[in-house]
Amino acid sequence: MKRYINPDRSEWKDITERPHINAAKLNGIVSEILEDIKLNGDASVKKYEEQFDKVKLDSLAVSQEEIAEALKLVPKSLYEAIVSAHKNIYKFHYSQQSVHNKVETCPGVTCWQKDIAIEKVGLYIPGGTAPLFSTVLMLATPAKIAGCKDIVLCTPPDKNGKVNPAILAAAHVAGVNMIFKIGGVQAIGAMAYGTESVPKTYKIFGPGNQYVMAAKQIVSVSDVAIDMPAGPSEVCVIADETSNPTFVAADLLSQAEHGIDSQVILITTSEKTADLVEQEIDLQLNQLPRKEMAQKTLENSKCVIVSNKNEAMQLSNAYAPEHLIIATDDYETLADKVINAGSVFLGKYACESAGDYASGTNHTLPTHGHATAYNGVNLDSFLRKVTFQHLSPQGIASIGHTVEIMAANESLDAHKNAMSVRIKELEK
């Protein structure tokens, strides 16, 4: 980890910089694939599955027989863990339902809002080096609570054309049965445009690598909505002399093992704690099966020693991390100073892994600094807020003249007339 000691504000730009690749080249490659899928549907999807996932598929859909087979392959302990996590995720997201009251804004004018589910949603579940079956629960659970009619799930198959059994088990628990063996950019294209096999969706959810993130952003320009610009995972840990170095090191490594384009950052007021954490990282790193990947991630990561907690929080807010762990005894005080973060973990026992799997909060979160403007997935992500209004004759009397004046002053005479004809009718 690159270390900074009491850095000047002018260095913060460098500290908060994420790893990135040539965006122009990336977008060019992704756009070509998307256009091919848009024009040629299933044939193109199968072509790219053979090219990128090294598998030749006769059918893109996962059959009921494959789901049944997967359920037999999943260990009982894992299935029970999935069920337990789903229960907590369901409980938290169910509590997010809103009650909307009708409001009489003035005599005779009544306005209200109603939550209506997005009819067709697409869920992308990464496979890659670590199949994220937990993401199925995070996306499908609120989609089901919201009442989405069609839930389409895409996830990459292995070289034998099989989907990871745990992913299918999680889909079964969450109530999803429209599942396709498609990964990467081709999955995003299939859900954005629709193919012979894959229904077109109205909004696409799910994390992924930089290619997936680029694909989501490109299709979002004119074809489909997306949840957020979610890319490589990241964590920021704020620590001091009261923090447990073993815990902090474990939290940093838990993100570092996601992939080489992930990033971790430690901000601490104690140089001694920084030293102890780095020692612990070295010890724990050697015990990890994904040691090489985590090691490469740490090369893009930073340790920043600051003079006080206020500065630590300011730097964290400037970084806008996907995950923020406040691993200090005074976490309650510092929590009030959080402005930009995807999800926050408070105290020495709130490891980020808890939120990733089973606490109930959602782990699909904004990355790459997008937490300054985006929130993580929640129930509202699957809903549209539709407004309604009703005007009685009394309502026309209340706001009719206001509408006429405002429309006239915007030189929109037809707008004015739409109100004027009603006023005249009521004056008869």
What CATH number does the domain containing 97 carry?
3.40.50.1980
End-to-end CA distance of the chain: 80
CATH number (domain holding residue 404): 1.20.5.1300
Whether 300 has a pLDDT exceeding 70, the answer reads yes
Does residue 219 sit in the same domain as residue 250?
A: no
Does residue 36 sit in the same domain as residue 170?
A: yes
Does residue 245 sit in the same domain as residue 154?
A: no
Specify if 8 maps to a domain: no
Residue 86 annotated in active site: no
Specify if 133 maps to a domain: yes
Least confident of 42-46, 82-86, 293-297: 293-297
Q: Using CB atoms within 10 Å of the CB of residue 316, give its burial: 0 to 12 exposed, 13 to 18 middle, 19+ buried.
A: buried
Locate 93 and state its tokens. Answer: 């997201």
| 32-61 average pLDDT score | 96
Last residue of a domain, one of 227, 252, 268: 227
Specify if 407 maps to a domain: yes
Does residue 243 sit in the same domain as residue 363?
A: yes
Specify if 16 maps to a domain: no
Does residue 274 sit in the same domain as residue 125?
A: no
Specify if 415 maps to a domain: yes
Does residue 398 sit in the same domain as residue 288?
A: no
Q: Tally the C-alpha atoms within 13 A of residue 266's C-alpha that lie toward its C-beta.
A: 35
pLDDT at 421: 97
Of how many residues is the chain composed?
428
> Total structural domains in the chain?
3
Does residue 216 sit in the same domain as residue 240?
A: no
Set 86, 172, 258, 323: catalytic member: 323
pLDDT in tens, 117-150: 999 999 999 886 678 899 999 999 999 999 999 9
Does residue 358 sit in the same domain as residue 396?
A: no
| 28-37 average pLDDT score | 96
pLDDT in tens, 315-374: 999 999 999 999 999 999 999 999 999 999 999 999 999 999 999 999 999 988 999 999
Does residue 207 sit in the same domain as residue 266?
A: no
Question: What dihedral do alpha carbons 378, 231, 285, 133 form, nearest 10°?
Answer: 50
Give strand pairing partners of 303: 3, 266
Task: Write down the residue that tokens 């012979």 correspond to.
Answer: 196
pLDDT at 321: 96
- Say if pTM beats, i.e. exceeds, 0.85: yes
Does residue 212 sit in the same domain as residue 278?
A: no
Nearest to 209 by CA among 172, 265, 259, 159: 259
- Rounded Cα distance between 277 and 238, Å, is 12
Domain of residue 422 covers 392-427
pLDDT at 129: 63
Specify if 157 maps to a domain: yes
The phi, psi pair for 302, rounded to 5°, reads -135, 150
Last residue of a domain, one of 227, 244, 260: 227
Residue type for 256, please?
A: A
Residue 323 annotated in active site: yes
Specify if 149 maps to a domain: yes
- Rounded Cα distance between 137 and 140, Å, is 5
Does residue 287 sit in the same domain as residue 351?
A: yes
Whether 181 has a pLDDT exceeding 90, the answer reads yes
Whether 271 has a pLDDT exceeding 70, the answer reads yes
Last residue of a domain, one of 202, 227, 252: 227
Whether 21 has a pLDDT exceeding 70, the answer reads no
The rounded percent of the chain whose pLDDT value lies above 70 is: 98
Specify if 6 maps to a domain: no
Does residue 209 sit in the same domain as residue 64?
A: yes
